[in-house]
Structure formats: structure tokens, C-alpha cells
Amino acid sequence: MTSTPIPAPGAPAPVPQAEGSLEDAGLQKGRLVEPSDGKAGEPMIAIDAVSKWYGSFQVLTDCTTRVSKGEVVVVCGPSGSGKSTLIKCVNALEPFQKGQISVDGTKVKDRATNLPKLRSRVGMVFQHFELFPHLSISDNLTLAQRKVLGRAPEDARKRGLDLLARVGLSAHAEKYPGQLSGGQQQRVAIARALAMNPIVMLFDEPTSALDPEMVGEVLDVMVELARDGMTMMVVSHEMGFARKVADRVIFMDRGEIVEDATKDDFFGQPRSPRAQQFLSKILSH
């Protein structure tokens, strides 16, 4: 069960949202992704022989894969297999000791790389939303645009409110995170990441902290992102989402990439016994 953030002093008390409230209109028509000048199929993320240790414990071992522009890759596997660590290495939220990662040609592990600038181009959505509880939804959407991208307040607000409308939450712009359900907060978090015009979106188990009935509204936004052509790396146990949206599935176990296959091959004929065992448990319920 997730905890509800507490609004800042002076903020309105949380207001229970009625199920099926007319204030939450659901996903609205329109593109979530800004059109890209790049060509589909070009490498966007390149992970080459990446290894990482926590002290003497090796959490990633020689991980290598590619994510092309416009591709959706779902990363799955048992708990503790290194999934979240791997995608956090993509934008250097986690340092790695061996190998190299490039995002649109920029090397992550390079002293010349401006990591704050790189991170501004890589959208990240976490398991627990990470919204600022003391700021209104509209301020959550505009703060990074103004501080990191240098956008004028009116431009940042227009971009933020447009995306808030796309995820069906226009009526909640002046509320605080604590007044929204978990699913609504996660949709705001996705809109906040998109407001930065990222070239890549990373999702770290975005639905695992949600009540089951809220999962669908977040997955709907992610499905729409995939249809709009956003490059996505998604750590998730939602196999239905993977079957519907993924171009490829990466299966990890004990810090290694055990399978890297198309979704049809992964679900239809996984090569490794470990992936077969994992799927037999996941898909039998």
C-alpha cells in the first residue's frame, strides 16, 4: 500500500477523488511526443560490456545491448537481477566501473560529457513518482523547464499545461500531489518528464507502487508514447504491456543479460532455461 504525500503548510488538505470523477477525463487526443528530425532505426542507446560493482559485489556483468531510435525495449527479470541499476546507468544516476554507454552519440562515462545536460535529454520516471509535495502540479511541471532549459515562465507553463491536458488532468493543475491518486501522480510525473522534450524515456517499474486498478491509466499513457515513436527503455513486470507494445524484451538474471530477443521470440520460444522458468511462473497465473 502506498503512502499519500502530505501537502506543504498552507496547502489545501487532500480531497478524496470520487471513482470515475468527471474531473479526470482520461487520456486526451494529441501527440505526447514532439516530432523528431532523426531517422527511425538509428542507434539511440548503446550499452557496451558494462559492469558495475557495489564494493566487492558485482551487480552488472558485461551487459551489452542497443536501443534504436523509436524502439520500445522492456527489461524484465527476477528481483535483484540488476534491471533498475542498468537503466539508471544510462543517464549516470548510477556510476559503472567498466564498459561504456552512449546516448545519441554522447558517451556517459567521459569526463568531457556534461552530465546535467545529458540528463535533461533523458526523461526518467521512477517507481514512487518523485513529485515535489510542496509545489502545485503546474509548478512541478514548469520548475525544471525554467531552471534547466531556461524557458520563459509563460512558455514553460504552456508546455506543462498542454501535456497535463494530454494525460487527462487539466482540472488538477493547481492541486498538490497529495490531493491526487497514485495513478494520477504517475501520469503527472510522465508529463513532467515529457515537458523537457527528451530524446529517450526511461521507466523504472512505473506501476509497481500503484493499486491494481490504477495501473491501466498509467500504461495507457505509455502505450500512447510508444505509438508516437518515443524511444523507451522500461523496467517492468507487466508482461501484458510488453506483449502489446515492446519491440524487444531483455531478460536479466544475476546481473547478466540472459535473453535479448523480439517479443515474439521471447514469449514464444525463450532460449535460456532461466527465462523459460521465469515465464512459466509469470504467465501461469
How confident is the model at residue 2, as a pLDDT? Answer: 44
* SS3 label, residue 142: helix
- Which CATH architecture does the domain made up of 45-283 adopt? 3-Layer(aba) Sandwich (3.40)
Q: Please say whether the beta carbons of 84 and 204 come within 8 A.
A: yes
How confident is the model at residue 29, as a pLDDT? Answer: 59
Give the pairing of strands 98-103 and 43-54: antiparallel
How confident is the model at residue 203, as a pLDDT? Answer: 96
181-213 per-residue burial string, b: 16 or more CB within 10 A, e: under 16: bbbbbbbbbbbbbbbbebbbbbbbbbbebbeee
What's the predicted TM-score (pTM) here?
0.85
Q: CA nearest 81: which of 250, 233, 282?
A: 250
Q: Please state the domain extents for the chain.
A: 45-283
Average pLDDT over residues 13-42: 53
What are the tens digits of pLDDT across the range 211-223?
888 899 999 999 9
State residue 151 phi and psi, 5-degree precision: -70, 145
Does residue 11 have a pLDDT over 80?
no
Please state which of the ranges 82-96, 99-113, 181-195, 205-219 shows the lowest mean pLDDT: 205-219
**Distance in angstroms (rounded) separating the CA atoms of residues 82 and 275:** 15
Here the cell at position 184 is 494520477
Does residue 102 have a pLDDT over 60?
yes
Does residue 17 have a pLDDT over 90?
no
More confident residue, 161 or 42: 161
Average pLDDT over residues 239-260: 94
DSSP per-residue codes, 168-235: T-GGGTTS-GGGS-HHHHHHHHHHHHHTT--SEEEEESTTTTS-HHHHHHHHHHHHHHHHTT--EEEE
Q: CA nearest 180: which of 1, 17, 26?
A: 17
